[in-house]
Structures are given as C-alpha cells and as structure tokens.
Copies of this chain bind each other. A is one copy, B any other.
Amino acid sequence: MKERKISEAVIRRLPQYYRQLEELKETGNERISSSGLASIMGLNASQVRQDLNCFGGFGQQGYGYHVDTLFNEMAGILGINRLYKSIIVGAGNIGRALTGYEGFVQKGFKMEAIFDVDESIIGTKLGGVDVLHVDDMASFIKDNGIDIGIIAVGREKAREIANTMVESGIRGIWNFAPVSISVPIPIENVQLSDSLFVLSFRLQNR
C-alpha cells in the first residue's frame, strides 16, 4: 500500500466498485478477476488493479479477488457501516424523500431530526423522524454530536445554513440545493438538474 494521494477520479469510482461487488456477492459469485470486474463495469483491467492497489493488495495471483473480502474492504475504505448521525434541513419534496429512504439507514446513515420553518409541521413526525424548527438546529447539532448535515432547502438559504452547520461542529455536508457551496469541511454538492441537462445535451447531439 503506497502512500500516494488518491485522485478524484479514483474516489468517484469507489462507490461503483462497492455497488458492483455487492451485486456479485448477492448473485453468489465467490471470486472475480480484475478483467472480469472491468468488463462488467465498462473499465479496463489495468485500471481496476491500479485503483484497488491504491488501498492494498487485495488480490491473489492466479486466482483474482475474493468477492466477499473485497466487498468488506471497500466498505471499510468508504467508511460504510459506521454510524453517521445525520439531520436534514428542509421538509420539502427532496427532504421528505430522503427522510423516508430505507437504503441510507441500512448503510449507517441515521436521520436524527428534520428541520424546517413551517410552524404547521413542527412538532410532528415525518417518516418517523421529529420535525424541529431551524432555529434549534445549531444547539441540536452540538448536543447530539451530529456528523452529517443534509441541505434540502432553496438556494437562497443554503449557504447560510451550511455556515451554521460548520460553526456548530458538523463533520460533513450533503448539499441538494442548486448552488455550489464551499466550506472548510467535506461537502458533496448534488446538482440533480445538472444530470438532466446533460441528458438534454445528449438528446440534441446524436
């Protein structure tokens, strides 16, 4: 395991490996070669080996990779199956959808609360999660040691909320507002419409 810096391109492929290995595991595959994995994922075998070797020598000459082992390694590399205490800000369409998404909880992302400004829903529950007022967010983060803040509000409020989260000691931000936010902690900006626009571009340029 070399101490080289992991490139952005490699990082973006990690979840793909994870997902693919999960599927191989579920379909009962015990072993997989770099060329096998490359072929189902549309990559190059050399690339697969290079990628994996950023983190360790998980394979075995003449055999390939043990699916279950590699899957677990990948989960470890990504930090999945730890418990991440999360909160959502914004109980609109996207906020609600994320609240109810089983998949995240299974992977260790537990929703501790959802924040909004709409008095008519504050105090109620959405998908089993308490709805609280945004004004109480900062203290909630501090008191409960929240790890991840999910921003699902309009773009006017997004930056302000991100800053409050950072000040309150949150560790990472998952931003769905259509603005790029830069903060001194890890942040992932999900721009849903970007991929729709790319689709539109491709439709036009065939």
Of residues 87 to 102 in A, which have CB atoms within 8 Å of B's CB atoms?
A: 93-94, 96-98, 100-101
Tell whether A171 pairs with B203 under 8 Å between CB atoms, given A14-B198, A188-B195, A198-B11: yes
Pick from B18, B96, B199: contact of A148, CB below 8 A: B199
Residue in B closest to A23 when the chains form the complex, CB atoms: B179
- B93 near A197 with CB under 8 A, answer no
Copies, count: 2
Interchain nearest-CB distance for A42 vs B (Å): 8
Bound-complex Cα distance A63 to B6 (A): 40
A178 is an interface residue with CB less than 8 A from chain B? yes
Across-interface contacts of A195 in B (CB, < 8 A): 15, 174, 188, 190
Pick from B79, B93, B147, B172: contact of A100, CB below 8 A: B93
Interchain nearest-CB distance for A40 vs B (Å): 9
Q: Which 8 pairs across A and B sit closest by C-beta, in order of nearness?
A: A186-B202, A79-B204, A15-B194, A93-B97, A97-B97, A15-B197, A79-B200, A188-B199
Task: Mark A residues whose CB is within 8 Å of B.
Answer: 6, 11-12, 14-16, 18-19, 23, 41-42, 77-80, 82, 84, 93-94, 96-98, 100-101, 103-104, 107, 109, 147-148, 171-174, 178-180, 182, 186-188, 190-206
